[in-house]
Structure 1
Amino acid sequence: MASADKFHEIFWCRPHHISNVCPAKIQKVHLHEGEWGTSGSVIQWHYNIDGNDHVAKEIVEAIDEENKSVTFKVIEGDLMKEYKSFRIIVQAIPKGDATYVHWTLEYEKLNKDVLAPIKILGFVVHVSEDIDDHLVQA
């Protein structure tokens, strides 16, 4: 299991490396504004779920080094077709020799017919596993 510090660092400072870690899931990560590792930066993700390509442009809303969390607010892309707002918080929590990765998806649906983002949740779990495997080998 990778350390919480290493896991947090990849989302905080090096999200563009995630496309190298799990290229079948995340094809590209581009910096549109700001600098890697800083709040207020704008990042665009190109990802694939169930064989379908998607795009999400996000603002790095908050970086909490002490609690090892990063908050991303989606501002454009495919998620905005179904949700009024969508925020993703990823936190790496050290527990002895283990690391727990806590994902929080905060969203508001455009209407009651929109499904909960269960596929997104499954996707981030698999991305976490790929990142952990990569960091353990590094």
Structure 2
Amino acid sequence: MGVKGKLIASMEVKCSGHSFYDIFHTNTHHVPNISPKNINHFEIHEGETMKAISIVSWKYNEAGQKIYMRHLVEDVDPHKISITWKLIEGDLLELYNYFNVITSCDYQWTTWTIEYEKKTEDTPESLIHLGFILDLTNDVEAHLLEK
């Protein structure tokens, strides 16, 4: 059994948390246009736009590498303004037994939680992935402020 980890980052955003949530809930297909330097491709394979049990994939650039991941949308909670993604396929599963991402928004804060289990003790903590998510958050915020 690997070493479990959890990273949490909250970031104040100048736009409302509801607007931020809306990008990832109903307008996720726009994220590659909002952050083209980070996201190369987004696709819904099963289900509807970011509904629970939907399966989606992302291709993105992280630390100079092209990464692929496929997620199951485990939960979408409009009351908590949160979405939970469970990684089911992709490059990160070479390093981690599981890798889940939870985003939640509250007023002018967005919080990202990454839960994972490393395959070995030598696997690095997921700080690069968290940095990528925070960079993406900045791009989404800038897009929302342009409106």
Q: Same fold by TM-score, threshold 0.5 exceeded?
A: yes
RMSD over equivalenced CA pairs, Å? 0.8
After TM superposition, the score normalised by the length of structure 1 is: 0.94
Runs of 4+ in 1 over 4 A off after TM superposition: none
Q: Would you say 1:10 and 2:19 are equivalent positions? A: no
Query: Aligned match of 2:56 in 43, 52, 68?
Result: 43
Alignment of 1:33-72 (within 5 A): 33-72=46-85
Identity %: 34
Question: Do structure 1's residue 29 and structure 2's residue 29 form an aligned pair?
Answer: no
Residue by residue over 1:82-129, the C-alpha shift from the partner in whole angstroms, topping out at 9 and shown as x without a partner, is: 0000000011111xxxx1110000001111110111000001001001
Deviations 1:22-65 (A, max 9, x none): 01100110111111031100000000012210000001110010
**Larger RCO (CA under 8 A, 6+ residues apart):** 2
Counterpart selection for 1:127 from 87, 111, 136: 136
- Specify every segment of 5 or more residues in structure 2 that has no aligned partner in the other structure, as ranges: 1-13
2:119 aligned to 101, 110, 125, which one? 110
Equivalent position of 1:101 in the other structure: 110
Secondary structure of the corresponding residue to residue 63 of structure 1: strand
Q: Which runs of 5+ in 1 are unaligned?
A: none
Q: Matched residue of 2:21: which SS?
A: helix
The alignment covers a number of residue pairs equal to 134
Q: Give, in whole Å, the separation in 2 of the partners of 1:74 and 1:37.
A: 14
